[in-house]
Amino acid sequence: MNTQAKHIVLIDDDPDMREAIRMVLEPLGYRLTCCATGAQGLSVLRQDGADLLLLDIMLSTPTEGIDLCQSMKGDPKLRALPIIMISAVGQTTGMDIALEAGGGVLPAELFLEKPLEAQVLRDAVQRFLSNKE
Amino acid sequence: MVDGPGPSAVAATSPLSDGQEPYRTGALLSLLRLHWFIRLRWALLFTAMAVLMVERFIWPTSVRPGALLAVLLVLAAVNLWWLSISNELWKRTRAVEVVEPHLIRKALAFANAQVAVDLLALTAILRYTGGVENPMAIFYLFHVAIGALVLTRWQAIIQAAWAVLLYTGMGVAVLRGWLKPLFAFLPALPPLGLQERPEYVLAAIGVLACGVFGTLYFTLKIAERFDEHEHLLRAANEALLNSEMAIRELQRRRSRFMQTAAHQLKSPLAGIQTLAGLIRDGIVPEAGVRPTCERIIRRCADGITQVAELLTLARIQEADPRRNRTASVDVVEVIRDVCERNRPQAKAKQITLAAQVGEGSDEATGEPATEAEGHGLRVWLDRADLVDCLGNLIENAIKYTPGPGKVTVTATRCPTPQVPPARFRAPGRSLDTPEPPYYVQISVADTGMGIEPDALAGDEEPTGPGTIFEAFRRGNQALAAGIPGTGLGLSIVREVVEQAGGRLRVQSKPQEGSTFTVWFPADVRTGARRATLSSAGPAAGFHTQVPFEPPPSRG
């Protein structure tokens, strides 16, 4: 285990989901920053950086999550940041939204559909953060 | 006897007349279908040649002049030339999106040339096959008729004059001996000598001229009718295409709405399941179980609110647009009711909720208050709709104003507001509703957090798609502040306003506050009249909104 806690940024407009994810991830020793809007999230990412981004697709607009990924692509510091998308829409709908927003493919390494199972989330996060070692 | 170029030297299926640009393109395209007529001319030339040969075979003694053959051959050569021009024009027209005026002029010149040359060829053929004695002169009429259909009015008249001139020239020249008299025609049908009798020649020319100009007149009249009908048809077709596009757009919006609605309904359920799963798996610490249960209950309530608001939205959307026109509601009373209902929430946040209703305070109209009982502000709207509309605006104002603050509701009567009408998107609604004489203006102003400009800048209009008036769309500041909401309230407001033929405006400055203003058509009847006409619909000057009717026919 490395000594410095890994930083995970979560962007989700749903306060309950933020709370639930916090309850699952914080006991594992991660540092978690929760944001309700894409703009908030982006400023946290730019200031503090992160090791992993958990991102909802539909925020204040149906494509805000996708738009955020696109603006991250243009940022050399954030381009390589792994993203796990978490959405109540299924992966197919998510891909449709991504296609419509002009991004083509779903710009994420992994797609998790809500409702979340604690174990699934845990596994996914650990996979990404241990791979990076 | 078939040895002329035939009737269909030039023709097109649709008329082309002066100054009617919209259907030039279609007319030009049919003009360029002259390919077909050129081919027909080939067929007739070959037929003429064949007839000459058969004639030679049946009456070996008959001698046709070389000149006649020469005319046919010249016509064949010219036709070959026409073909290349036609190909060229066709290619150029196909290459451009919009047919340019110079292409139209060229196509018209081309058609004119064909008619003129065909008339000349017909005259030459007549000259060598009996002159005025040959009844084939009837073919002039075909050319004139076709010219009237294809060419502009004046061009057709000139072509008709050209036909009469040619025929007269031939008749007179033979009569006066300027042209050699006819050679032996068929042995079985010797010349009758009519072409040398002035009275017959004059009569033939007169009859032909009458025929030509009569045909011209009637064909032009028919072409005019064609034009009108084609115009109407095109207009109807365009309207159909437009409404089809509107329906497609509406369908797209509906399915997008369904998708968003399903997502939004799934969200609380997903939250509930996730939280319940955490409790089950023992991830929630002992002390956190109760708050988490509270969260779950709140989430259930959220879901129920969302369903209720969706049902409200559906009720308003499904409503008959005419419904609002048969009943009016007292604005002052509704404002009082809604304010009363929201006072506890306002008080809890130290927000002053003030209602200023200017009963009859319509200095803009210069009219005194019309209501003896003091209820001068009535609008054509269902009570339930107005309650939903104002309820949402006032609840929002309180919700998004951090206390201490102030929410002010005002209502006044005013003439037509300088705000564009809320767009009618649903098909089947009249677009040109008559303007009501007065409106009632209701504004809800708060001293709250305001709305960021992004959430008010729609793709098309300040209250349209992409703004907070779109279903499920919420302002970023509201989300950042963690204020709960379904994102449906303002779509309900907009829907009520659209259905009532009202207007809607929002002015907002972040951190200073927002003012939402709605205008509804005012019911200007007096209390006594309203009592007798309570179900009779709106007063004079503002009529029942009628379902879509096609525009009156201009034909």
Q: How far is CA B506 from CA A73, B360, B473, B498, in A?
A: 35, 24, 15, 15
- Mean predicted confidence (pLDDT) in B25-41: 66
Q: In whole angstroms, what is the distance from residue B527 CA to residue B109 CA?
A: 72
Is A102 domain-assigned?
yes
- The pLDDT tens digits for B91-147 are 777 666 666 677 777 888 888 888 899 899 989 888 888 888 888 888 899 889 888
Is A39 domain-assigned?
yes
Domain with residue A76: its CATH number is 3.40.50.2300
- Hey, is the C-beta of A54 within 8 angstroms of any chain B C-beta? no
3-state SS, residue B423: coil
Burial A100-128 (b: 16+ CB within 10 A, else e): ebebeebbbbebbbbbbebeebbebbeeb
Is A133 domain-assigned?
no
Q: Which amino acid is at B370?
A: T
What percent of chain B clears pLDDT 90, i.e. is strictly above it?
A: 23
What percent of chain A clears pLDDT 70, i.e. is strictly above it?
A: 93
> Across-strand partners of B408?
B354, B445
Whole-prediction pTM value? 0.56
pLDDT beyond 60 at B287: yes
Is A2 domain-assigned?
no
More confident site: B212 or B383: B212
Is A75 domain-assigned?
yes
Is A22 domain-assigned?
yes
- The pLDDT tens digits for B461-497 are 666 667 788 877 777 777 667 777 778 888 889 888 8
pLDDT band at residue B274 under the 50/70/90 scheme: very high
- Mean predicted confidence (pLDDT) in A44-49: 91
Q: What is the pLDDT of residue B13?
A: 36
Q: HEC string of B126-179?
A: HHCCCHHHCHHHHHHHHHHHHHHHHCCHHHHHHHHHHHHHHHHHHHHHHHCCCC
ipTM of the complex: 0.87
More confident site: B512 or B368: B512
- Mean predicted confidence (pLDDT) in B317-329: 70
- Mean predicted confidence (pLDDT) in B447-459: 77
pLDDT band at residue B458 under the 50/70/90 scheme: low
Distance from CA of A93 to the nearest CA of B (A): 9
In chain A, the number of structural domains is 1
Q: Which amino acid is at A51?
A: D
Task: Identify the domain containing residue A15 by its residue range.
Answer: 7-127
pLDDT beyond 50 at B434: yes
DSSP state of B355: E
Question: Among all chains, which residue has been given the structure tokens 């009016």?
Answer: B328
Tokens encoding A10: 């979560």
Residue B443 and residue B513 in contact, taking contact as beta carbons nearer than 8 Å: no
Lateral strand order in the sheet of B503-509:
B351-357, B405-414, B439-446, B513-521, B503-509
Most distant CA pair in chain B, distance: 128
DSSP state of A32: E
pLDDT band at residue B361 under the 50/70/90 scheme: very low
A59–B283 CB contact, under 8 Å:
no
pLDDT beyond 90 at A8: yes
pLDDT beyond 60 at B528: no
**Mean pLDDT over each residue of chain A, to the nearest integer:** 85
Q: What is the pLDDT of residue B473?
A: 76
How many other β-carbons are positioned within 10 Å of the β-carbon of residue A35? 22
Residues of chain B numbered 417-456 and touching chain A (CB < 8 Å): 455
Residues of chain A numbered 79-108 and touching chain B (CB < 8 Å): 88-89, 93
Question: DSSP string spanning B386-405?
Answer: HHHHHHHHHHHHHHTSPSSE
Q: Which amino acid is at B331?
A: V
Nearest to A93 among B259, B472, B480 (CB): B259
Q: In whole angstroms, what is the distance from residue B425 CA to residue B253 CA?
A: 10
Is A101 domain-assigned?
yes
H or E element, residue B24: helix B24-31
Count of all residues that appear for chain B in the document: 555
Is A54 domain-assigned?
yes
